[in-house]
Amino acid sequence: MTMSTINKALSSEAEISRRNFLKLGAGVLGGLALLELVGVGLMFLEPRSLEGEFGGVVNAGPVDSFPNGSITEFPAGRFFLIRAEDGGFLAIYRRCTHLGCSVSWKPEQNQFVCPCHGSHFDFYGDVENPPAPRALDTFAIHIEDGMVKVDTSRPQTREEFESSQFVYA
Ligand code: FES
């Protein structure tokens, strides 16, 4: 074997190993990109927790922080928490039962008022002025370790207010 043949053989080997190295590098980079794509995809597939906001369970706070005869609005949960004079709790969905506009509490009138077609509701969500066909919906309340928790995942419909709807600590 001549010197020139040896040099050619060596340079051809170097060329092959360089190609292999580049292929390996491209493979590793491709693998990393794929892993990242899968990771991002999984992030979007993971169910988003609705805890603390509308659609989930809202921890309204300690029982004692709501005086008897009070109404407290929870805009993120889309409800009003009523505490009656006898200490009973009622969570009222702010969605008007006519066509779904948001009602607001008017303390000077002692009423919930719908801005769309003039329905009015009393302190307990009962209709005082149509066209709303029935009382405002409610949400289930659980009292756990002295905290008031409101489950906003499913509104409960009702024709009118009844004292059995109150939840006590
Ligand atoms: S949506 Fe409330 S009165 Fe029509």
Amino acid present at 45: L
Report pLDDT digits (tens) over 110-133.
Answer: 999 999 999 999 999 999 999 999
> Which pLDDT value is given to residue 135?
98
51 occurs within a structural domain = no
> Which pLDDT value is given to residue 9?
54
> Which pLDDT value is given to residue 57?
96
Pocket test for ligand 1, best of 95, 101, 128 (most atoms within 8 A of CB): 101
> Which pLDDT value is given to residue 82?
98
> Which pLDDT value is given to residue 53?
87
My answer on whether 28 and 95 are in the same domain is: no
116 occurs within a structural domain = yes
My answer on whether 67 and 42 are in the same domain is: no
My answer on whether 36 and 64 are in the same domain is: no
Q: Does residue 136 line the site of ligand 1, with CB under 6 A?
A: no
Q: Does residue 97 line the site of ligand 1, with CB under 6 A?
A: no
Ligand 1 centroid to Cα of residue 126, in Å, is: 14
My answer on whether 129 and 76 are in the same domain is: yes
pLDDT along the chain (169 residues), means of 10: 55 59 60 56 57 91 98 97 98 98 97 98 98 98 97 97 97
- State the total domains in the chain: 2
> Which pLDDT value is given to residue 24?
62
> 157 lies in which domain range?
57-165
My answer on whether 18 and 76 are in the same domain is: no
Pocket test for ligand 1, best of 114, 120, 136 (most atoms within 8 A of CB): 114
Q: Does residue 127 line the site of ligand 1, with CB under 6 A?
A: no
